[in-house]
Every structure is written in C-alpha cells, then in structure tokens.
Structure 1
Amino acid sequence: MLKELHLKRVGPAPQFDVELAQRLNIFTGDNGLGKTFLLDIVWWILTLNWVEHPAWPHREREVSPEIICHLSNQKEKEAYRSRFDFSQQKWLSQQMPPQFRGLVIYARVNGGFSVFDPARQRHSAYNFTPDTLWNGYRLKGKVLCNGLLQDWVNWQRQPDQSTFQLLSSVIQQLAPQPGESMEPGEPMRVSVEDVRDIPTVCLPYGNVPVIYTSAGMKRILGLAYLLVWTWYEHTQASKLLQTDPLNQIVLLIDEVESHLHPRWQRSLVPAILEVMTQLQPTMKVQAFVTTHSPLVLASVEPSFDEQQDRLFLLELQGEAVTLNEFPWTKQGDTVGWLTSEIFGLKQARSTEAEMAIEAAETWMRGESMDAFADNLKTPSQIQQQLERLLPGHDPFWPRWIVTMEAGR
C-alpha cells in the first residue's frame, strides 16, 4: 500500500509532502486546489498509467519536477521516484517500485472508471467511459468487458448464482438504509428497437430498468458492478495463470457524494469499506476519497480510526496551496462540520442571513455599524431583514428578542 507521497514542482504547489493512512484517506478543500490531481498521482504511482493527461510540471529550471513515493512493503528509507523529462515531454520512471501487487479501481467524477489488474493487463489499464462501462469494452477485436447490461443478465441467469448474489449483496449494501432499499429485479425488454433484456432494480414504487434510473443511482450501480466485475475477472484470470488471487485493493473515488441525495451521502463511505470484505474476507483495502460534503465527513465519525484513517485539508493561504493532515475531531452534525475549520463557514446559512445576524450581534454589542450596508444600520432595519431571512424557529430569535425588549 502507499505510505508516503512527496511531490516537487508539479501540481498546484511547489511541494507537497504527505504521510498516508493504511485504510481511509479523505481529502477535502475548495475547488481547484488539487484533490483530483492527487488521485491522478496515486493512480500513476500504482499503475504507471495516466487516466487522461499526465501531471503538468512547473517550468522553472532550478529544480526538476519529481514524484517520490514510499510503499508500505519496501525497505526503510528507500524512495521510488519519477522525474519529468522536458526533452521527451513525459514522466520517466528513474526508480519506481516493483509492480504493485494489488487491484486498483478509480471512480472518476465524470462517470468514468479505471481498473488496473496485473493478472490481466500488466502494463496498461482499462479506462471505461460511461458508455463502455454499460455496453461493453472492445479493443482490437478483443472483448475486454461485456459491460454492465450484459454481465448482469448473464450472471442472473447462470445456474451458479454466486456472482449474481454477490452483485445483489453489494448493491443492497451501497443503498441507503432503511426505507430506500435497492435490489435487482427481473430483466425486461424496453424497446422494439433493442433486442436486449435490460436489468432492473426493485425500488419502493416498482421495478425500473437500470437505463432509466437517476444519475446518482447509475453511479452507485456502476460502482457496484465494477467492484464485482473486477474481482470476478481477476479470479478467472488467476485460475488461467494458475496463481492465487491478490488480496490487496486500492480504491480511488473522486467526489464520492456526486449526484447523491443526503441519505446516500451519509451512508456510502462506511458501506464501501464494508463491501470490500464481501469480495474477499481477508482483503486489505486502502481508500482515497475526495469530498466537499459535510455529510460524508459526519458519516465516518462512528468508524473513523486514527490509527488507520486520516483526514487531509487543501487550503489556499495567500497565493500558496497547502496540504496538511487535519487532526480528527468529531463535529456531531453537518452544521458542526460546515462551521469547523475544514469548511470555514461562520454560519450554516445563506450569506444574506449571516450578514443580518452579524449586524444584529454588532448592534447588541454596541459597536460601530459603519461596515454594514445601508439597510442594516438600525435596529428596525435589522429586524426587517431578520424577519425576511430567518424562519420563526431559528435559534437566534430568542437572543434578539430579549435584547430588543430590554432596550425599550
């Protein structure tokens, strides 16, 4: 597993240095500070492939752009590195680790997935678009993947139901609980122009063909399928090669909350960690997750283990981007997370409501109101804005009402 990562003159900062957790690594921070970039770097280190574009180096001549990593199974203090060669315009592996002996799955925010399986392709990876994930992946006359639609139905109709049962279990585990279960239904034809039987999912209001499910559900179904497909095909390849299946998997998920309702956001990460043991009870899992969601962070509070999990924050300080491990502290709920240093909001409200309350608090302290807009200068103006912006049960009202009545 990946233990340390050191980047020089590549990405949004002159240098990043990070010691990684052995199980769960969560990266958060504002847009554009390098969360997806870090996942791309991790993918490159473990697979020696880039998903799309190679990491773009800084162009200063003084220091060579460099990617350095430490793996948990390597000798102490030995670093593996790759440097960017400007003359060849590519990253060269000057001293990279032996091929990672594990599976790597990358769920990208655009709906694509990438899979690296050294038992099947030792020097390249499978990069799925949403279309090839669902309808099949073919390259140079070879069928690399039948696709979700065909594999699902084939597994469902095989006499040996073990793979389909695993898929069903993973889908049910990833769905929010309770009251919003999701499990496979019977395949059905949906069009006179398409001869395929399409898988369906049983939802509380009926069976729905998977091609007509929401964007959020499609991402969950795609992830469930990729997890099962990757493991199934890896075991098949291991049988042909007469080797034992690997017992390590690295999972990269960019913006894990993408397209998902809050119910799904607050259950997905714990469910993913639990699902991995369904593939193989002795499976060692290292996950790298990026998120903007306070619900995702709140969801891992019960299971977060500081011995094997870490939270990292990317921040813009002046003109410099920094990456630091953030001490884990339970915040209790989404409001606590939103107003914590991780997200940095003063209040979990609209900006207008926040400004009105700040004006009210400033007036209650007897301080100057010069910094506020013309409609927030006097108590009556503040009262008018509070009535417009705050619900009647807002916890700020008692303080304001008591202060106003005392001043009469």
Structure 2
Amino acid sequence: MLEYLHLMNVGPAPDMTMELAPRLNLITGDNGLGKSFLLDIAWWALTRTWAGRPALPRSFHQAAGNIEFSFEGKVKSNRYTSTFDRKTQSWTGRAGRPANPGLVLYAAVDGGFSVWDPARNYWRKKGNIDIQDRPAAYLFDPRSVWDGLAGEDRSTLCNGLIRDWASWQKEKGNPFNQLKAALGSLSPPGPDVLVPGGLTRISLDDVRDIPTLRMPYGQDVPIVHASAGVRRIVALAYLLVWAWNEHCKASELLGQQPTHQVIFLIDEVEAHLHPRWQRVIMRALLTVVKALTGTSADMRMQIITATHSPLVLASIEPFFRSDDAWFDLDLVQGTQHDEWDVVLQKRNWVRRGDVSQWLTSEAFDLGSARSLEAEKLLEEAARALSDESFDTQAAMKLDKKLREVLGDTDPFWMRWRFVGEKRGWLS
C-alpha cells in the first residue's frame, strides 16, 4: 500500500504532502491543479516507471526536485527519496532490486491502462545476482487495450480485449465467468445490465470475431460500436480480469503464491458515465476487485482515484470509513496580490447528503448549485432584501430578471415574496 508522498520543487506547488489511507483515497480539485499529476507520481513511486512523460522539477534555477515516498512492500515498509539528476535528466533510484508493492493498476482518463505485475515485471534472480530483464511494466495506449500489446521483440504481451474476450467466450472457462461477473457488478442500475451477446463479424477486412453486448431492447451491439461510457467500463472489467488471471498464471509458473496486495489508481472514475452510473461506480469497483482477488484475510486492496463528480462523492458517503482519506487541491491567494498558489490539503470528511451540498463544498467551491446567471441575480437580490432604500420600481425590474432564470418552485421565491409584500414592492 502506498503510504506517503512528499514532493519538493516538483509539480504545481513547491511542496505537497500526502499521507494516504490504506483502503480508499479521493482526490478533488479544479482542472490543471495536479490531480492526474499526483496519480502519475503515485504510479512511479510504486513501480519506478512512468506511465507517460516523466515529471520534471518546477524550475532548474531553484532547489533540486525531490520525491520522497514510502509504501508497504511484500516484506516491510520501504521509504526512499529520489532526486532529479540534471546531468542524466532522470530521477535517481536505489541500487539493486526495488521493493515489491504488489499488483499495481492505473486507469488513465484517455482510455489507456498501465499494469505492474510482481510476477512478470519484477527482477529475477540468476544465481545470486538480481537481473532486470523483464518488461518494466505493461503500458497500454487506448488502442492496444482493444487490439493487443506487443513487446520490443514482437512477442505478444497481451492479446487485447477483442481477441481475449472472444477466446474466453468460446472456451466457456473461468476467465469468461469472471468477466461476466465483473460486467454485471459494474453495470448501471436498471435494465442496462452489461451482458455478453454472441460473437460477430463487422467487416470484410477484419477476420476477428467481435464480442457484443446484449441490449435491453434485444439487439446484440458490437462492443466497438458501444458508447464511450460503456467502452470505458468494458475495458476496466477486461483489464482487471486479464491482469489478475495473468498474474496468477505467472505466479504458478514461478512456483509462488499470488500477491496479497492490489493497488488501483483511477483518473476521473466518472468519465463518460451517466449520473445514474456515477452513483454506483465506486462501490462496484470495490466489489469487483474483492471478488476477483478473493476474500482471504491477508488480501489487501487500495484505491486512489481523482474525481470531478459531486455524485461520486455523495455515493461514497454510506461506505466512507474513518481510516479513508480525501485530498483536495485549491488555488489560494499568494503573498502578492496578483499571485496564486496551489495547495494540497487533507480534508475532513463530512456527510452532506444532497449532491448540491457537495457542489458548494470545498471539493468544488461553487457559490450555488444553480446556473451562473441565477447565482449572480440571487446575490443581487440578497443585497436588495437588506437595502432599506430599495424601491418598488427597482424591485419590479429585478423580479422580472429573476423570473427569467429561476423555476416556479425555486425555494428563493418564498423569501422574495414575503419581504416584497411586506415592503410593498409586490402585490
């Protein structure tokens, strides 16, 4: 489990610290403040590989960039500080075999996916010597998730979703049963359950059997033609099943037990999903990972996810525990009037109930859950209600503007009419 991150002169702020929870970690914040960046750093700290471009120091003219981190490995907790080496333009690493964090998965918002498998990517021993001759990690771009991932020597590292799904469906074995169970658990509530249909062909130029999903209206739709939200969930389900099954097979070949730790990093877990789906996706992911890896007492799972969705936060309220964590990125006024600083802080978790309460919380910092036009007019109306010099003519003009932006049942009308009638503005 990732326990600690401390970034100095790296990223959007001079100093950022995260003391992570062992089970569930949420990251919120506006666009461009560093949510995806923190997930990239977490992936690197655990695997010592970059899922995309490497992080760089904020400035080469200031202090050296440092990344301090600790995670619970296979045997013990490991802490290390890496410094950016300007000559080699790389981050320093500890000599020899690194610690083993367990199985690490990273779902990017663009549909890419990264996997670090302790059975397939970890160093191996040759005699008494540690040798790093295996792939550093499996880095899927969006296309390779579906069509397969090849190694540098043209070896097949992954068949891809389309071929594997078709093969599993024909074999009718355990992987296909796991895939069906994962799809069912990750489905939205209601009739839109993700159920595999028959295999089909869609082109004269593609000889692959293409999996389909059976729609509630009875038609089998090829998964390549499914909506963006469905494709992302299908890809998540497939890669979870593929990563765990391949890890178990590799562990068996090595004569060792599968890992007892799984760490899942997810960027914008709500991407492309309907609000109805956003309300259940986090609980569903926890359920699927537990079902895949088993329920043994020593199996541990950690999720670190970034989100923009108030529905996701509201949906977590029933099962957010006291040892879980919520981190929030904010822009705050700097020492100079025209300066702003990015600040990362751990927030206290409070159940807010209504989704609109989350919109106006520290997570999203909105003034209200209404439209921007309505929010500005309501601020003007609030000032008018406390202004003794506000006259009937001005009140009538403001009343007309309010009617253009507020619904007939908006709760503000009760206060507006009560004060307006009391002061004689409205009849």
TM-score between both structures, scaled by the size of structure 2: 0.89
Partner of 1:322: 343
In the TM superposition, what is the alpha-carbon distance from 1:191 to its structure 2 partner?
2.3
The structure-2 alpha-carbon separation of the partners of 1:276 and 1:193, relative to structure 1 and needing over 3 Å to count, comes to same
1:311 is aligned, of 318, 322, 326, to 326
Partner of 1:389: 405
1:180 is aligned, of 182, 189, 192, to 192
In the TM superposition, what is the alpha-carbon distance from 1:96 to its structure 2 partner?
9.2
In the TM superposition, what is the alpha-carbon distance from 1:396 to its structure 2 partner?
1.1
- CA distance in 1 between counterparts of 2:350 and 2:66 reads 33
The structure-2 alpha-carbon separation of the partners of 1:82 and 1:96, relative to structure 1 and needing over 3 Å to count, comes to farther
For structure 2, the 5+ residue unaligned runs are 123-134, 334-339
The structure-2 alpha-carbon separation of the partners of 1:368 and 1:285, relative to structure 1 and needing over 3 Å to count, comes to farther
Partner of 2:239: 226
Moved more, 384-393 or 218-227: 384-393
The share of aligned pairs that are identical, in percent, is 46
1:345 is aligned, of 348, 354, 366, to 366
- CA distance in 2 between counterparts of 1:361 and 1:146 reads 62
- Contact kept, 8 Å, 1:134 with 1:149, in 2: the verdict is yes
- CA distance in 1 between counterparts of 2:282 and 2:371 reads 28
- Contact kept, 8 Å, 2:118 with 2:259, in 1: the verdict is no
**Secondary structure at 1:63 match in 2:** coil
2:275 is aligned, of 262, 265, 278, to 262
1:291 is aligned, of 283, 307, 331, to 307
In the TM superposition, what is the alpha-carbon distance from 1:60 to its structure 2 partner?
5.0
Partner of 1:203: 215
- Contact kept, 8 Å, 1:80 with 1:95, in 2: the verdict is no
Deviations 1:252-282 (A, max 9, x none): 1111111111011111111101111111223
In the TM superposition, what is the alpha-carbon distance from 1:4 to its structure 2 partner?
1.1
- CA distance in 2 between counterparts of 1:12 and 1:332 reads 32
Deviations 1:114-133 (A, max 9, x none): 11112112251111111111
In the TM superposition, what is the alpha-carbon distance from 1:406 to its structure 2 partner?
1.7
In the TM superposition, what is the alpha-carbon distance from 1:240 to its structure 2 partner?
1.3
User: 2:357 is matched by which residue type in structure 1?
Assistant: G
Deviations 1:54-111 (A, max 9, x none): 11102255532111112235868x7311110011111111479833241111100111
2:253 is aligned, of 240, 254, 274, to 240
In the TM superposition, what is the alpha-carbon distance from 1:241 to its structure 2 partner?
1.1
Partner of 2:116: 116
Count of residues in Structure 1 that have an aligned counterpart in Structure 2: 399
The structure-2 alpha-carbon separation of the partners of 1:97 and 1:251, relative to structure 1 and needing over 3 Å to count, comes to farther
Moved more, 185-194 or 350-359: 185-194
Partner of 1:38: 38
The structure-2 alpha-carbon separation of the partners of 1:324 and 1:97, relative to structure 1 and needing over 3 Å to count, comes to farther
- CA distance in 2 between counterparts of 1:93 and 1:153 reads 41
User: 1:335 is matched by which residue type in structure 2?
Assistant: S
In the TM superposition, what is the alpha-carbon distance from 1:388 to its structure 2 partner?
0.6
- Contact kept, 8 Å, 1:101 with 1:246, in 2: the verdict is no
**Secondary structure at 2:93 match in 1:** strand
The structure-2 alpha-carbon separation of the partners of 1:95 and 1:303, relative to structure 1 and needing over 3 Å to count, comes to farther
The CA RMSD over aligned residues, in Å, is 1.9
Partner of 1:194: 206
Partner of 1:25: 25
TM-score between both structures, scaled by the size of structure 1: 0.93
For structure 1, the 5+ residue unaligned runs are 370-376
- Contact kept, 8 Å, 2:46 with 2:71, in 1: the verdict is no
User: 1:237 is matched by which residue type in structure 2?
Assistant: A
